[in-house]
Amino acid sequence: MAEPVIVGVVNATPDSFSDRGDRSTAGSIRQVEQHLEDGAGIIEIGGESNVTNRPAVTPEEEIERILPVVVAAAAAGAIISVDTYKPAVAAAALESGAAIINDISGGGNLELMGVAAEAGAGVVLMHTVVEPKTQRWDEAAYPEGITAHQVRFFEERLESLAEIGIRRDQVVVDPGPDFGKTPAQTVDSLRGLPELCGLGCPVMLAVSRKDFIGAINHRRPSERAPGTFAALAFGLDCGGRLLRVHDVAGTRDFLQVWRALRGESEVDPALRIADEIRREPPRDAAGSPNPAATSPEDV
């Protein structure tokens, strides 16, 4: 079974739905460095948010946002994916060191896919029935069942990609949580992950901070870490292996415990917890940690 790979998201855009951090070029480069330090195997850089209440940015502006970040990530030795549906942006990113194009438009733009094919790049093929930066909630959208619809969608797309020289082993499949789906449809699509894994392509779990989680537990994006880890655990057990996340360090910690409990990593019988992390230190009157107040009897 393939090892899970953490894909660290870097939003080089001022209007991300889920990220309130420093979105300047320098801030995005720092985030690349932090993601790599925290254990990301792939860095995914995006220059346009998919929020539906903002107009699309031009290819020129998107390139200006992402290119310095792509160059810095390449210099750091990162494997780079770029989240875009614009051929010019994809071409610029691939020329600057990117290796993967994550197409949120669903792989139907053959000009974009042709750019990836010419470069020999990998492709993330995301399921969607709506144009980028649009949303549609229609409970009757998938009368045959969403999993059956997605299997047919991906098979048709994989055939069209093969015709332009993109092999199946270059493609990652993403069920597209929230894209053209109600929260309930997203849940149904994730329940169908075992069938999507049967397509023979790696499956990406792009569930981090998504709306379906917030709809279930009534949490804002910044409060959706527990729901994200639950969705990742479910998806991993179904066969998903690429974890597209905002919280790389938290996902690394989650995976360490998940692997240990499944017997996929060795747990030394002599393993013990260090005293300095076994308990939280007492706090002083101002509420700050006061390690000096800890006595041997407290551990």
Residues known to be catalytic? 210, 244
Return the structure tokens found at 163: 């015709």
**How far is residue 298's CA from residue 293's CA, in Å, rounded to a whole number?**
10
- Of 85, 18, 7, nearest to 223 by C-alpha is 18
Helix H, strand E, coil C: the string for 175-236 is: CCCCCCCCHHHHHHHHHCHHHHHCCCCCEEECCCCCHHHHHHHCCCHHHCHHHHHHHHHHHH
- Of 10, 87, 89, 13, nearest to 51 by C-alpha is 13
**How far is residue 60's CA from residue 253's CA, in Å, rounded to a whole number?**
38
**How far is residue 101's CA from residue 82's CA, in Å, rounded to a whole number?**
5
User: Per DSSP, what are the bridge partners of residue 245?
Assistant: 8
Classify residue 205 by its DSSP letter. E
CA dihedral angle for residue 267, residue 269, residue 275, residue 280, rounded to 10 degrees:
50
User: Per DSSP, what are the bridge partners of residue 80?
Assistant: 43
